[in-house]
Amino acid sequence: MTDNTGRVIDYLRISVTDKCNLRCRYCMPPEGVTSLRHEDILSFEEITRVCKIMARLGIKKVRITGGEPLVRKDICRLIEGIHVIPGIEEIAMTTNATLLAPLAGELKRAGLDRVNISLDALDPLVFAAITGRDALGEVKEGLSAALSVGFGVKINCVPCRELNEGELRRVAAIAQNQPVDVRFIELMPIGCGKQFHGISSGELLKDFSAFFGEPREAPASPGGGPACYYNFPGFQGRIGFISPISHKFCKSCNRVRLTAEGRFKLCLHYESGIDLRKYLRDGRTEDAQIEEAILEAVKNKPAAHHFESPGEEMPSERENVEERNMNQIGG
Ligand code: SAM
Ligand code: SF4
């Protein structure tokens, strides 16, 4: 599957719910949002059908996200269904890990390969102030369980001036003591994220170099995604930086998204895409017609986001700017 700018699309991120058991301040309003009705979100059978079609079109990697994917009942059944699809080489999940410890073994047996755990602070009070819940203990248990069942594990942290500036060295130090990569992701001005100020990767790299010692740049792994990794002296894991704002990586973007209500989405910044649920529930639509609609939509994947320069979108794209929160889009 190739778009009009020549990018090969082989990575699908699937949001399985807009619901979440945390309220990270840059992601969801504290009062929550009106959740989708159960009948409005795609069933596992519908998601699996989309995955089969997409795998035939060249999708090799799938990531399950949300909202919080582990609040969706029976999530292991969906992983099992995707795991057996020919062509899908890897299934990963992005999770806040609060519910991970009791489910880790079952998820592994179902075919999940990797988990990315979101963790913005290691001080329990700061964690609770960011997420609205005193749940750091559960997250730590989730991390240990993920490592002990043998998942590839990465930690994702969003540095935010107002929320966790004083926590970032401690979060980075997880990679000092454990064989886990810790990645810092620049805050994007999406939904509630617009109210906060992110911290750039450059500023953090400078701070970590002064504090932990001069790092060596780690070689990029082929198809390894947009993170730039560094090896710090004495660290077991690497420190990565994902810099959608200061170093846009749109030119090598290989991903598309399926939202919980079945919208096929081409870029985080724009609403453009197609309502796949309509096709899936029509009853008469053949897979071939859905394939055709997806291929046509992919051709028009926006060339780049314009988060760093609001208002500079192409006129045709301006009305199309995504206004929803990350939990609704699928982060
Ligand atoms: N609930 C799961 C979790 O937190 O890992 C999965 C969904 S969450 C929306 C996915 C990721 O998006 C999290 O790592 C979160 O920190 C990140 N995120 C949310 N809002 C963001 C924003 N405005 N800019 C950058 N990352 C954001
Ligand atoms: Fe929930 Fe993840 Fe958003 Fe936090 S970042 S509120 S855990 S969806």
Q: Find out whether 227 and 188 touch, Cβ atoms under 8 Å.
A: no
Residue 87 lies in a domain: yes
Domain count, the chain: 1
Domain hosting 58: range is 11-329
Rounded distance, CA 114 to CA 11, Å? Answer: 14
Q: Is 198 helix (H, G, I), strand (E, B) or coil?
A: strand
- The strand ranges marked E within 164-307 are 181-185, 216-217, 228-231, 239-242, 255-258, 263-267, 270-275
How many A from CA of 95 to the centre of ligand 2? Answer: 8
CB of 243 sitting under 6 A from ligand 1: no
Q: Is the pTM of this model over 0.75?
A: yes
List Cα–Cα distances, 272 to 275, 297, 301, 303, 322, in angstroms. Answer: 10, 9, 8, 12, 9
Residue 292 lies in a domain: yes
How many A from CA of 40 to the centre of ligand 1? Answer: 22
Structure confidence at residue 244 (pLDDT): 85
List Cα–Cα distances, 326 to 28, 169, 189, 330, in angstroms. Answer: 7, 25, 10, 6
Structure confidence at residue 322 (pLDDT): 66
Structure confidence at residue 22 (pLDDT): 97
Residue 234 lies in a domain: yes
CATH number of the domain encompassing residue 210: 3.20.20.70
| Dihedrals phi, psi of 266, to nearest 5 degrees | -100, -20
Residue 183 lies in a domain: yes
Residue 2 lies in a domain: no
Structure confidence at residue 213 (pLDDT): 97
Residues of the chain with pLDDT under 50: none
Residue 5 lies in a domain: no
Atom of ligand 1 nearest to the CA of 117: 5
Rounded distance, CA 181 to CA 322, Å? Answer: 30
Residue 6 lies in a domain: no
Report the binding-site residues for GTP.
13, 63, 94, 154, 255-257
Atom of ligand 2 nearest to the CA of 68: 8
Show the tokens assigned to 23: 């309220």
Residue 206 lies in a domain: yes
Q: Find out whether 273 and 297 touch, Cβ atoms under 8 Å.
A: yes
- The strand ranges marked E within 158-294 are 181-185, 216-217, 228-231, 239-242, 255-258, 263-267, 270-275
Q: Find out whether 267 and 305 touch, Cβ atoms under 8 Å.
A: yes
Rounded distance, CA 208 to CA 232, Å? Answer: 9
